[in-house]
Amino acid sequence: MENNDIIKIARAKAEKWLDKAYDEKTREEVKRMLENTDTTELIESFYNDLEFGTGGLRGIMGVGTNRMNIYTVGAATQGFSNYINKMFPNEKKAVCIGHDCRHNSRLFSETAANIFSANGIHVYLFEDLRPTPEMSFAIRDLGCKGGVILTASHNPKEYNGYKAYWDDGSQLVPPHDKNVIDEVKKVQVSDIKFEGVPEMITILGKDFDKKYLDKVKTLSLSPEAIQKEHDLKIVFTPLHGTTYELVPASLHNWGFTNIHTVPEQSIPDGDFPTVASANPEEPAAFKMALDLARKIDADLAMACDPDGDRIGIAVKNDAGEWTLLNGNQTNIIFTEYIIRRKKELNQLKGGEYTVKTIVTTELIKDIAEKNHIICYDVYTGFKWIADVIRKEGGEKFIGGGEESFGYMPGAFTRDKDGVSATSLMAEIAAWVKMQNKTLYSFLKEIYAKYGFSQERMIYIVRKGLSGAQEIKAMMEEFRHNTPKEINHSPVVLKKDYLSLEATNLQTGEKTHLNFETKSDVLQFFLADGSKISVRPSGTEPKIKFYFEARAQMKDMNDYERVQQDANARIDAIIKDLKLQ
C-alpha cells in the first residue's frame, strides 16, 4: 500500500475521534496530530487498531485506535460485559479488577469498574496496586464470573495492558477467548457505558490481602525447617512493582525474620528508574539485589516482575559466587522438593499430577514419572495449565510451571504466582540449609539423580510484513523439509502442533497429539536426547528457538563437565541450523 493511502486511512480514522463522544483533551491531541506535517505519529496511532487478542490488550499508551487509552480499554470492557451478560443472563454477576504500578493503570482499572457496574455487573476493585495472582485468587474466592488485571508485565514503561480472566481465575481459553473478541469488535464508542454505579463497586483492601496470604501459607511443607532457620538471610526486590508489600508480608507470615528488600526498588514506580528492563529473566535487573546480597552475605536473593507473577532466583555456587537460576532450574527444584516432601509426609495417595509447557525441560517429566506422578504437557501460557486443572480438578494438582520464570504451586490461583513461589523457595532454602546443603548443591543432587539438562532460548527478529512472511517461510521450511540429522545426531521424532501429528522419522509411523487446539509449533527430538522447539511469537515479530541438551552425570562432581559439554552441543546445533 502506498504511503499516501496509509495517511488517508489514518486521517479518516483520526477525524472520527474529533466527535464529541470523545473528551476534550483527547480531541485536542487528535487535532494536534492532524495538523502536524510529520504524519509518523498519526499513522502509528491510528492506521492500525489495537486488537483484543486471546490474552486481551497490550500496547503503547496514548491517543488513537492503536493505543492503550480509556476508549480502547472501554471498548474491551463493554464487549467483555456484553459477553458475561449473555453467558449468565439470569444470575447475579460479579468481576474482580486489579492493576499494577504503571502509568494510567489506576485510571484504566477505575474506567473498567465503572463500565462493568453500568452494565449491571458487581465489581470488586482492589484499593491500590496488587499482584496478578491475588486478583486470580479473588475471582475464585469471591465467586466472580470473570476478572481483569491492568498490566503490561515487564514490558517497557510506555506500555500498558488489559488481561481478561474467566470464572475459574484463569485467562480466557476457547471458546470464551474468541467469543469475547467477537463481542469487542462490535462495540462503537457510543455503546460504551462510562457512567459507573458506585453502589455496584466494592473496594478490596488489607483484609483480603490477609485472606490471600493465609491461603499461600497452606503450601508450606516444612514449617520445622523455617522454625530452625527463621533467620535465613533473604534479599528481595519487587523491581518497583506490586509485590513490594505482599512478598515480605508472606515471608514473615511463613516465619522468616531476616528479610532485606532493596530500598530503592521497593517504591512502586511505573518509570522503573533503576533498571533498563524490569524483568527477572534479565541478569541486569538483579544487580542491586546482588549488591545487597554480597554486602550482607545473604543466603538467597529473589525478584518478582512488576505484576508479581514471575519469580527470579539467585543462589551462591560452590565457590560462594552468586549465580542466577534459569526458569527451568527453578521449576526442577520446585518439582523435586514438592514430590519428595509430600512423599515423606505421606500426602501422595495416587493420581497426583504436575503440568509443564511443551518448551519447558523434559527433566520435569522424568522427575514426575519416576515418582509415579502424572505430567501433562500444554502450550505456552498458564491459561493452559489452568485448563488442565479445570478438567482434572485441583485436589491432586501439585504444581506447574514454564521455562519463562513462572511457577504455580497451588490450585487456588490459576496463573503463575510470584508471591507463593518466593515463599516456597525460601522454605526450600531453609530446608536444605537445615541439612547443611545449599540450593545450588540441591540442584546438582537432582541432576545426579535424574540426569542433567541444559536449556537455552534464542530468537530472530524480523519486522514488518516482509518479516512476517520470512518467519512463515522459515516455519514451512522446517515443517516440510525436516533435517534428517542435526549436529550429526539423527532426528528421531517430529511433533507438529499445527497438524497435531507426531512422526517417528525412523519408521514413518504417525500418532495423534492429544491437544484440543492447534498451534504453530514444531519440535524435533534427536537420538542424543536433545530437543529443539520452534515457534513464532504471538506478540512480537520474532521466531523463537528453544534448545535442550541432556546428559548423564556420574556424580555431583561431574556437574561442570556435563554442563560444558551440553552447552557445546547447543552451540553446535545452533551453528548447524545456521541460526547464528
Would you state the cell numbers that stand for residue 471, as one nine-digit string?
A: 518467519
| Res 463: pLDDT | 84
CATH number assigned to the domain comprising residue 540 = 3.30.310
End-to-end CA distance of the chain: 33
pLDDT at 1 > cutoff 60:
no
Say if 73 falls within a structural domain: yes
The answer to whether residue 220 sits within a structural domain is no
d(CA 384, CA 358) in angstroms, rounded, equals 11
Count of CB atoms situated within 10 Å of the CB of 368: 23
- The pLDDT of residue 94 is 98
Same domain, 107 and 242: no
Q: Is residue 109 annotated as part of the catalytic site, yes or no?
A: no
Q: What is the distance between the alpha carbons of residues 164 and 166, in angstroms, rounded to a whole number?
A: 7
All cell numbers assigned to 133 = 495472582
Last residue of a domain, one of 450, 471, 498: 450
Output 265 or 153, whichever has higher pLDDT. Answer: 265
- CA distances, 475 to each of 382, 423, 522, 539 (Å): 24, 40, 8, 17
DSSP assignments along 286-312, one per residue: GHHHHHHHHHHT-SEEEEE-TTS-BEE
Residues 289 and 411 in one domain: yes
Within-domain flag for 394? yes
Identify whether residues 272 and 174 lie together within a single domain. no
Tell whether 510 is covered by a domain: yes
Output the pLDDT for position 154: 87
Buried b (16+ CB within 10 A) or exposed e, 82-101: bbbbebeeeeebbbbbbbbb
**Same domain (yes/no): 482, 507:** yes
- Give me the number of domains the chain comprises: 4
pLDDT category, 239, cuts 50, 70, 90?
very high
Confidence of residue 401 (pLDDT cuts 50, 70, 90): very high
Confidence of residue 539 (pLDDT cuts 50, 70, 90): low
CATH of the domain at 408: 3.40.120.10
Residues 386 and 240 in one domain: yes
**Cα–Cα distance between 376 and 368 in angstroms, integer?**
10
Q: Give percent above pLDDT 70 in the chain.
A: 99
Residue 223 lies in a domain: no
Please check whether residue 406 is in contact with residue 382, taking contact to mean a CB–CB distance below 8 angstroms.
yes
Of 450, 475, 502, which marks where a domain is finished? 450
Strand segments, DSSP code E, in 55-211 are 56-60, 94-99, 122-126, 146-150, 159-166, 201-204
> What Å distances lie between residue 263 and 307, 341, 419, CA to CA?
18, 34, 19
Same domain, 242 and 201: no
Asked if residue 491 and residue 478 are part of one domain, the reply reads yes
Kindly indicate the confidence band of residue 2, based on its pLDDT and cuts at 50, 70 and 90.
low
* The pLDDT of residue 128: 98
Same domain, 242 and 283: yes
Residue 418: CB atoms within 10 Å: 33
Question: What pLDDT, in 10s, does the model give residues 51-96?
Answer: 888 789 999 999 999 999 999 999 999 999 999 999 999 999 999 9
Q: In residues, how long is the chain? A: 580
Residue 457, Cβ density class (10 Å: 0-12 exposed, 13-18 middle, ≥19 buried): middle
The last residue of one of the domains, among 408, 435, 450, is 450
Q: Say what the pLDDT of residue 466 is.
A: 81
224: nearest Cα among 51, 44, 104, 344:
344
Burial of 463 (0-12, 13-18, 19+ CB in 10 A): exposed
Bond from prior residue into 175 cis (ω within 30 degrees of 0): yes
* Cβ-proximal residues to 455 (8 Å cutoff; 6+ apart), any chain: 326, 328, 361, 403, 546, 547, 548
Half-sphere exposure of 421 (CA within 13 A, CB side): 36
Higher-confidence residue of 146 and 542: namely 146
Q: What is the pLDDT of residue 569?
A: 96
What value does the CA radius of gyration of the chain take, rounded to a whole number of Å?
A: 24
pLDDT tens digits, 201-235: 999 999 999 999 999 999 999 999 999 999 999 99
For position 53, what pLDDT does the model report?
82
Residue 62 lies in a domain: yes
Note the pLDDT tens digit of each residue in 514-534: 999 999 999 999 999 999 999
pLDDT of residue 266: 97
Catalytic annotation, pick one of 81, 153, 266, 530:
153
Question: Which residues, in sequence order, are bridge partners of residue 58?
Answer: 161
Mean confidence (pLDDT) of the chain: 96
Same structural domain, 292 and 313: yes
Residue 3 pLDDT exceeds 80? no
The DSSP letter of residue 21 is T
Cell 476508549 found at:
71
- Res 186 pLDDT > 80: yes
- Residue 472's contacts (CB-CB under 8 Å, 6 or more residues apart) are 536
Q: Give, for 261, the enclosing helix (H) or strand (E).
A: strand 259-261
Residues 517 and 395 in one domain: no
The answer as to whether 287 is a domain residue is yes
Domain that holds residue 385: 230-450
User: Are residues 107 and 43 both part of a single domain?
Assistant: no
> Does a structural domain hold residue 63?
yes
pTM of the model: 0.95
Please give the average per-residue pLDDT across 257-284, as a whole number: 96
**Three cell numbers at 153?**
508485565
The whole-number pLDDT of residue 146 equals: 98
Same domain, 144 and 71: yes
